Amino acid sequence: KQPLYGKVAIVTGGSSGIGKASAIALAKKGAKIALVDLKEENADKVKKEISEFGGEAIVTDTDVSDTNRMEESYLQVIKQWGRIDIVFANAGINGKVEPIEDLTTDDWDQTLGTNLRSTFLSVKHAIPHMKDKGGSIIITSSINGTRTFKNFGMAAYSTSKAGQVAFGKMAALELARYRIRVNIICPGAIDTNIGENTFPDKEELKKIQIPIKYPDGSQPLEHKAGKPEQVADLVCFLSSDSSSHITGTQIFIDGAESLL
Ligand code: NAD
């Protein structure tokens, strides 16, 4: 029997990168998947990919920062499958990369809304459906939520990611009494679409991200970003009963990047 057979998982940002890889990995382990994403067309492709190996998925076309849409989305999942066991609160953007003095309130609100308010909404709307039977919630923060981002212009992003860590821990403490676990994952650089518009010069970015060299001149990670599938393995572990005594943790998945 598949380890997540009979479970229902909500995956926000499930149409690309870490969310897509995790949705597919969770489905392969038997979970039914609700893809909650702005990009309906891409989400439909992931749904198709899941159905091709016999999995089940639905798409809810949702802006994760929108309170009403998030509530409707969760109700749509309940209507479809009658339960929610796993929530992967993962959708996120880098947002506008600007020095603080040039950052507008709208830029700030967009980044904080997409990354942090969405996390609050993802957890809040899960509680009524998990209270009686427990569940697992996983939040995608970043190594840059616990240290400074090595690029200027990322103040709003780092603030949102730090907020996710704080909120995730508070939620873990508050919800442990219902056997709802909440864990926070902190990826380093992962090869996804997130940086496409933000950091067009990938070579420059690498120089900033991995500044030290071993005595023989080589560099940690050989400048390689992680793969979304590697993060998906961690998401599957935290979703399953194999991690039943783990809650409120913040797990780095960065191949040593945060140690540099
Ligand atoms: P990605 O751009 O490949 O995927 C992000 C997904 O979120 C997309 O499907 C996008 O449509 C969706 N999304 C964006 N705004 C949304 C909104 N308002 N409502 C609904 N969906 C929305 O990026 P990714 O790298 O897979 O990012 C996933 C998470 O991982 C983010 O929270 C990001 O901050 C975090 N993260 C990524 C990295 C990295 O290097 N890629 C590192 C650390 C943390």
Distance 151 CA to ligand 1 centre (A): 18
Residue 125 · residue 87 · CB < 8 Å: no
Q: Which atom of ligand 1 is nearest to the CA of 189?
A: 40
- Alpha helices per DSSP H over the chain: 17-28, 40-52, 67-81, 105-112, 118-124, 127-130, 155-175, 202-209, 228-239
Residue of the nearest CA to atom 41 in ligand 1? 190
The side-by-side arrangement of strands in the sheet containing 32-37 is 57-61, 32-37, 8-12, 86-89, 135-140, 180-187, 250-253
Catalytic residues: 157
- ipTM of the prediction: 0.99
Quick: pLDDT tens for 162-198. 999 999 999 999 999 999 999 999 999 899 988 776 7
pLDDT tens track for 38-81: 988 999 999 999 999 999 999 999 999 999 999 999 999 999 99
Centre of ligand 1 to C-alpha 66, Å, is 16
**What global pTM score does this model have?**
0.96
Residues with CB under 6 A from ligand 1: 13, 15-19, 37-39, 62-65, 90-93, 114, 140, 142, 187, 189-190, 192-194
The pLDDT score that the predictor gives to residue 14 is: 98
- CATH number listed for the domain at residues 8-195+228-254: 3.40.50.720
Residue 233 Cα to ligand 1 middle (Å)? 17
